[in-house]
Amino acid sequence: MPCFDFDLTSRDGKARTGRIRTPRGDIRTPAFMPVGTAATVKAMMPESVAATGADILLGNTYHLMLRPTAERIDRLGGLHRFMNWEKPILTDSGGFQVMSLTGLRKLTEEGVRFRSHIDGSRHMLSPERSMEIQRLLGSDIVMAFDECTPFPADEETARNSMELSMRWARRSREAFGDRSGHALFGIQQGGVYPGLRAASAEKLREIGFDGYAIGGLAVGEGQETMFGVLDYAPDMLPEDKPRYLMGVGKPDDIVGAVARGVDMMDCVLPSRSGRTGQVFTRRGVLNIKNARHQDDPRPIDETCTCPACRSYSRAYLHHVFRAQEIISSMLLTWHNLHYYQQLMSDIRAAIAEGRFADWQAGFHAERAEGDVARL
Ligand SMILES: [Zn+2]
């Protein structure tokens, strides 16, 4: 079986392009991963997700372990076959959602005991159990089990949490074992404290991973604080491995993260927003439910080649959103995912051609113009 590999192909400042090679196909970086929480990217057929240009999806361990369960997915041939997505899949460790979605939980050195938010049933997640679930799912990129340090956290709290995550990182590495063609990523913690981020990075390097994530961000700290951490945190991680910023983000978060050396990101924002009528364009965000669109025969974006923009007017999209028709979620999600993948493609081209700073200035200038004038 071919191995998991990462080649850096170009650099421009701290920004980089590269290619992650997996047995299920290559991932062009910087990459944006749409989120397929419950074995589906909501409102999208898998082939449509692929058509937007996505090379990889993210699946959620927490949701899948509860329903339909990892064991059932394994019996049915694994997550790729189950959800009809043959390209790579990254799964998170479940740690973040256990902490954010469950009310009753108990955290110990061993792991986290909790009750399902669906039916109250009792479960346990530990580094070993998380590795087992991600193996049963057949995930291509497995994430180490960690505790996402809450924000804000004082330095002592952040230190204790980070040190626990590093002990769990070692247990994750041991439980993962040697699985050719599959990768295990470690997760840097340490909150907003440079010394803790450095200690975490050193510990992760010592254990050795196939890639490194920057955890504990995009948890309500705001863009300025996040960029403050990203000014130094990615530089602490090995240069020759992919760097993954978890749970990010808005288009301008993505651009700022790439400028600081990040290679991979994921976020529910484009798909979730597609269901709430929020539309991303190169001229910023617009809300399709706004009355200004009801007589507008123009597409969302004249230059966008997605099905929503090619064949439908703002007036139609406004109407089906207002009427709560299912096609509204389908078309707006498709447009948003297409916009995000186009953004990544533009970013990769700009870096490869050594004009990322200019491209970035143009990106911000175009957004500052705002939506096209009302008819
Ligand atoms: Zn479009």
Give long-range contacts, CB 8 A cutoff, 24+ apart: 71-80: 71/136, 73/39, 73/136, 73/137, 73/138, 74/136, 74/137, 74/138, 78/136, 78/137, 78/138, 79/39, 79/137, 79/138, 79/139, 80/24, 80/138
100 marked ligand binding residue: no
Q: Are residues 237 and 288 in the same domain?
A: no
Let me know if 140 is a catalytic residue: no
Q: Which of 12, 55, 266, 301 is catalytic?
A: 266
CA of 311 to the centre of ligand 1 (A): 10
CA of 333 to the centre of ligand 1 (A): 9
- For residue 209, tell me if it sits in a domain: yes
Q: Are residues 45 and 112 in the same domain?
A: yes
- For residue 179, tell me if it sits in a domain: yes
Confidence (pLDDT) at 64? 98
216 marked ligand binding residue: yes
Q: Which amino acid is at 82?
A: F
CATH number for 21: 3.20.20.105
Phi, psi dihedrals of residue 5, rounded to the nearest 5°: -150, 155
Contacts of 110 (CB under 8 A, 6+ apart): 126
Residue that is last in its domain, among 208, 238, 266: 266
Rounded to 5°, angle at Cα 22 from 268 and 20: 70
Contacts of 147 (CB under 8 A, 6+ apart): 95, 99, 107, 161, 164, 165, 168, 189
CA of 336 to the centre of ligand 1 (A): 7
For the chain, first and last CA: distance in Å?
Answer: 57
Q: Please report the DSSP string for 79-90 in residue order.
A: HHHHHT--S-EE
Q: Are residues 43 and 188 in the same domain?
A: yes
- For residue 111, tell me if it sits in a domain: yes
Q: Are residues 212 and 344 in the same domain?
A: no
- For residue 139, tell me if it sits in a domain: yes
- For residue 225, tell me if it sits in a domain: yes
Confidence (pLDDT) at 2? 59
Q: Are residues 17 and 126 in the same domain?
A: yes
Ramachandran assignment for 195, one of left (phi > 0), alpha (psi -120 to 50 degrees), beta (any other): alpha
Query: Residue 302 sits in which domain range?
Result: 274-369
Let me know if 295 is a catalytic residue: no
Cis peptide before 23 (omega within 30 of 0): no
146 marked ligand binding residue: yes
253 marked ligand binding residue: no
Tally of structural domains, the chain: 2
> Per-residue pLDDT for the chain (375 aa), expressed as one digit of tens each?
558 999 999 999 999 999 999 999 999 999 999 999 999 999 999 999 999 999 999 999 999 999 999 999 999 999 999 999 999 999 999 999 988 887 778 999 999 999 998 999 999 999 999 999 999 999 999 999 999 888 899 999 999 999 999 999 999 999 999 999 999 999 999 999 999 999 999 999 999 999 999 999 999 999 999 999 999 999 999 999 999 999 999 999 999 999 999 999 999 999 999 999 999 999 999 999 999 999 999 999 999 999 999 999 999 999 999 999 999 999 999 999 999 999 999 999 999 999 999 999 999 999 999 999 998
- Coil, helix or strand at residue 132: helix
Confidence (pLDDT) at 3? 81
Q: Are residues 261 and 324 in the same domain?
A: no
Confidence (pLDDT) at 101? 81
Closest CA to 267 of 247, 285, 253: 247
Go through 103-138 and write b for each residue having 16 or more CB atoms within 10 A of its CB, e for each that does not.
eeeeeeeebbbbebbeeeeebebbbbbbbbbbbbbb
Residue that is last in its domain, among 266, 296, 323: 266
CA of 262 to the centre of ligand 1 (A): 26
- For residue 119, tell me if it sits in a domain: yes
Q: Are residues 39 and 165 in the same domain?
A: yes
What's the CA gap between 253 and 364, in Å, rounded? Answer: 12
CA of 317 to the centre of ligand 1 (A): 11
Contacts of 316 (CB under 8 A, 6+ apart): none
| Per-residue tokens: 183 | 């990768």
DSSP state letter for 109:
S
* Beta pairing, strands 25-29 & 15-22: antiparallel
CB 285 within 8 A of CB 251: no
Output the pTM of the full model: 0.98
Q: Are residues 228 and 296 in the same domain?
A: no
- For residue 375, tell me if it sits in a domain: no
CA of 312 to the centre of ligand 1 (A): 9
Confidence (pLDDT) at 148? 87
Closest CA to 188 of 203, 201, 199, 206: 201
Q: Is 52 exposed, middle or buried (0-12, 13-18, 19+ CB in 10 A)?
A: buried
Residue that is last in its domain, among 266, 284, 304: 266
Q: Are residues 189 and 301 in the same domain?
A: no
Q: Are residues 247 and 157 in the same domain?
A: yes
Q: Are residues 207 and 353 in the same domain?
A: no
Length of the chain: 375
CA of 254 to the centre of ligand 1 (A): 19
Beta strand segments in 178-272, E: 183-188, 211-214, 243-245, 264-267
- For residue 374, tell me if it sits in a domain: no
Q: Which of 12, 55, 92, 301 is catalytic?
A: 92
Q: Are residues 20 and 83 in the same domain?
A: yes
CA of 171 to the centre of ligand 1 (A): 44
Closest CA to 245 of 231, 266, 272: 266
93 marked ligand binding residue: yes
